[in-house]
């Protein structure tokens, strides 16, 4: 009877929304299930955080390009149309699955510290971490990796030229695009930083200094010129040619450390992704210098020993176990994780089933562990709020999961004069002083200390899940320290709780990162659940939206693709 009541209620609500003509205007939850449904496609699917980028990516697929062609095109378009996060002045990670070879690889185009960087460069005269230095000065910028990473991906796995991939971005930069309300709000929110440097203010405000308004045409001629130069001359234009000269000139004028040699020496790294299994599925995610894949697999390994479906989605019992697993993983993150080219990271130990069993046995199923008493685990010995993510699958079964960033919204706020693009402030992702939290509250240790030419630790977690060797899920998210747990829960919601991909993305989220010792819950989780968690000893904090998980699921029986844009932020899923 109860089941019949909820079905009837769902039908009535759905009919009301259809009759009012606003069925897509909002997400409605009935017993935790969304009345929104994923976008379907048989031949290809593109899900991004920006409408024009999604449309550009889909057009590439429709013209016969593959997922990698579409992925690089999308990344370039977002550098023009989503300047707070999309970029050519930052870096990121791409997981690529090749249907032909069955290979899944990780392309690491994370930024690097300049060769002149040194351990205590962000400490003041009293030895305290100076956030201003690491976030809003020319010292805050790592050597950008986007151009090198995208060019490599295209050359190795794509079918179109770099110039073809850049063409839509050049068009939007040169001819402009119409600003929507969200992007104008971004300009208002970042006003202080966008007005701090003349070259930045010239781009993001009108000639008279006033704000742009929704409906205005936003043209970026300097960025168009930069993108054209890269299309004509390739990555060398950025790392050795005229663009490199503009970057270095800016650094020399403002006390930055990046040199022409730093730019000329930059290369993306091709790595083996972190691989784990969860209830029979193969999970591939990003390896160090990202902590994402390590801890997604670690948390899944811990939770695999519990019958979560029986306990129920977002029940107090399930959230308690998730929080306990999360806090143990983040404690290990603080101790062990860094750039594996510089420090020994116990990857096999941290991601082993045996280690997960040890951590699982520490968990009291009815009482929270106080984080201050929880130290990083004894992992087996060493073996010899502004990012954007997008997911793409093509008709052949190739897939791209890409997450890239300039760190904060609009990065450092510093535009390279004459080149029209923003520089990242990723140097803040190093541990300026081991034990001191960064901007996302994450505590780091010596493994992530500043060193010359080192890649800073990240939480970005582009992820591809395979079922019997074929793409099943493609996921990832922006969100700083929330990225890991957001991506984790999309996977769990599908595998453990049988949700379709839109339901999995829509569902309220949970987060714990060891320190601060609090369980963060999104709005939508019941007061009774919060009361039970509090009685277990958890400090519960209710937050607004966490993450933005642009995701795809492929039906293993039919091959039908289902795309889900995350309604927490602007985004669009399109298939054909």
pLDDT bracket for residue 378 (50, 70, 90): low
377: its two tokens: 């685990």
How big is the CA angle at 198 (ends 195 and 199), to the nearest 5 degrees? 110
Section 261-286 average pLDDT: 98
> The domain 36-176+219-576 is classified under which CATH number: 3.30.70.360, 3.60.20.40, 1.10.3720.10, 2.60.40.10?
3.60.20.40
Q: Of the given ranges (9-18, 338-347, 392-401, 540-549), which has the lowest mean pLDDT?
A: 9-18
pLDDT single digits (tens) 521-570: 999 999 999 999 999 999 999 998 999 999 999 999 999 999 999 989 99
pLDDT bracket for residue 385 (50, 70, 90): low
Binding residues for L-glutamate: 110, 405-407, 429, 458-459, 480
What pTM was computed for the model?
0.92
Q: For residue 436, what pLDDT is reported?
A: 74
Q: For residue 36, what pLDDT is reported?
A: 74
pLDDT single digits (tens) 274-332: 999 999 999 999 999 999 999 999 999 999 999 999 999 999 999 999 999 999 999 99
309: its two tokens: 């479906």
Q: In terms of Cα–Cα distance, which of 226, 217, 211 is closest to 169?
A: 226
Query: Which residues, in sequence order, are bridge partners of residue 45?
Result: 393, 575
Section 110-134 average pLDDT: 95
Q: For residue 473, what pLDDT is reported?
A: 98
Domain boundaries, the chain: 2-35, 36-176+219-576
pLDDT tops 80 at residue 15: no
Section 242-248 average pLDDT: 98
Q: For residue 25, what pLDDT is reported?
A: 28
The sign of the CA dihedral 575, 546, 136, 447 is negative
Q: Which of 137, 318, 387, 463 is catalytic?
A: 387
Q: In terms of Cα–Cα distance, which of 398, 401, 390, 397 is closest to 296?
A: 401
Section 40-44 average pLDDT: 97
pLDDT bracket for residue 16 (50, 70, 90): very low
pLDDT tops 70 at residue 267: yes
pLDDT tops 50 at residue 8: no
What's the chain's average pLDDT? 92
pLDDT tops 70 at residue 23: no
pLDDT bracket for residue 374 (50, 70, 90): confident
Whether 561 and 45 have beta carbons less than 8 Å apart is answered as: yes
pLDDT single digits (tens) 138-189: 999 999 999 999 999 999 999 999 999 999 999 999 999 999 999 999 999 9
485 is known as an active-site residue: no
> What is the spatial distance between Cα 515 and Cα 535, in angstroms, rounded to a whole number?
20
pLDDT single digits (tens) 441-489: 667 778 999 999 999 999 999 999 999 999 999 999 999 899 999 999 9
Binding residues: 110, 405-407, 429, 458-459, 480
């Amino acid at each position: 009877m109860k089941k019949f009541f909820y079905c009837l209620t769902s039908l009535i609500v759905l009919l009301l929304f259809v009759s009012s003509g606003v069925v897509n205007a909002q997400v409605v939850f009935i017993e935790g299930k969304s009345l929104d449904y994923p976008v379907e496609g048989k031949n290809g699917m593109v899900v991004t955080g920006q409408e024009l980028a999604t449309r550009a990516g889909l057009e590439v697929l429709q013209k016969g390009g593959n997922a990698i062609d579409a992925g690089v095109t999308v990344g370039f378009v977002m550098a023009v149309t989503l300047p707070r996060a999309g970029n050519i002045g930052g870096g990121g990670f791409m997981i690529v699955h090749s249907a032909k070879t069955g290979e899944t690889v990780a392309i690491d185009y994370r930024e690097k510290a300049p060769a002149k960087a040194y351990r205590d460069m962000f400490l003041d005269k009293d030895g305290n971490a100076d956030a201003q230095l690491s976030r809003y000065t020319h010292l805050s910028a790592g050597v950008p990796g986007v151009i090198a990473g995208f060019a490599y991906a295209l050359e190795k796995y794509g079918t179109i030229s770099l110039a073809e991939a850049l063409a839509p971005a050049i068009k939007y930069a040169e001819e402009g695009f119409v600003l929507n309300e969200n992007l104008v709000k971004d300009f208002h929110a970042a006003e202080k930083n966008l007005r701090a440097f003349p070259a930045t203010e010239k781009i993001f405000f009108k000639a008279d200094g006033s704000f742009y308004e929704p409906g205005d045409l936003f043209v970026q001629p300097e960025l168009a010129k930069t993108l054209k130069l890269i299309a004509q001359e390739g990555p060398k234009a950025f790392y050795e040619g005229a663009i490199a000269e503009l970057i270095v000139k800016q650094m020399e004028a403002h006390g930055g450390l990046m040199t022409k040699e730093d730019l000329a020496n930059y290369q993306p790294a091709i790595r083996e992704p972190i691989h784990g299994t969860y209830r029979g599925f193969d999970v591939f995610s990003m390896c160090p210098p990202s902590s994402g894949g390590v801890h997604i697999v670690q948390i899944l390994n811990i939770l695999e020993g519990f019958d979560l479906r029986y306990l129920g989605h977002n029940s107090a019992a399930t959230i308690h176990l998730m929080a306990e697993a999360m806090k143990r993983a983040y404690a290990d993150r603080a101790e062990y994780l860094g750039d594996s080219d510089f420090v020994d990271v116990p990857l096999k130990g941290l991601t082993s089933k045996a280690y997960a069993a040890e951590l699982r046995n520490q968990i009291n199923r009815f009482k929270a562990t106080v984080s201050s008493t929880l130290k990083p685990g004894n992992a087996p010995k060493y073996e010899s709020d502004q990012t954007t993510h997008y997911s793409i699958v093509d008709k052949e079964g190739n897939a791209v999961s890409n997450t890239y960033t300039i760190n904060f919204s609009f990065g450092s706020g510093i535009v390279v004069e004459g080149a029209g693009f923003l520089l990242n402030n990723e140097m803040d992702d190093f541990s300026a002083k081991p034990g001191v939290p960064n901007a996302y509250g994450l505590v780091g240790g010596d493994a992530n200390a500043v060193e010359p030419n080192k890649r800073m630790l990240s939480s970005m977690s582009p992820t591809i899940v395979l079922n019997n060797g074929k793409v099943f899920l493609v996921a990832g998210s922006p969100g700083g320290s929330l990225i890991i747990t957001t991506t984790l829960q999309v996977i769990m919601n599908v595998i453990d709780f049988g949700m379709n991909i839109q339901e999995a993305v829509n569902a309220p989220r949970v987060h714990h990162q060891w320190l601060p010792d609090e369980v963060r819950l999104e709005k939508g989780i019941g007061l009774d659940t919060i009361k039970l968690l509090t009685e277990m000893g958890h400090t519960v904090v209710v937050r607004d939206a966490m993450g933005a998980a642009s995701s795809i699921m492929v039906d293993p029986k039919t091959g039908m693709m289902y795309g889900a844009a995350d309604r927490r932020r602007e985004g669009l899923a399109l298939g054909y």
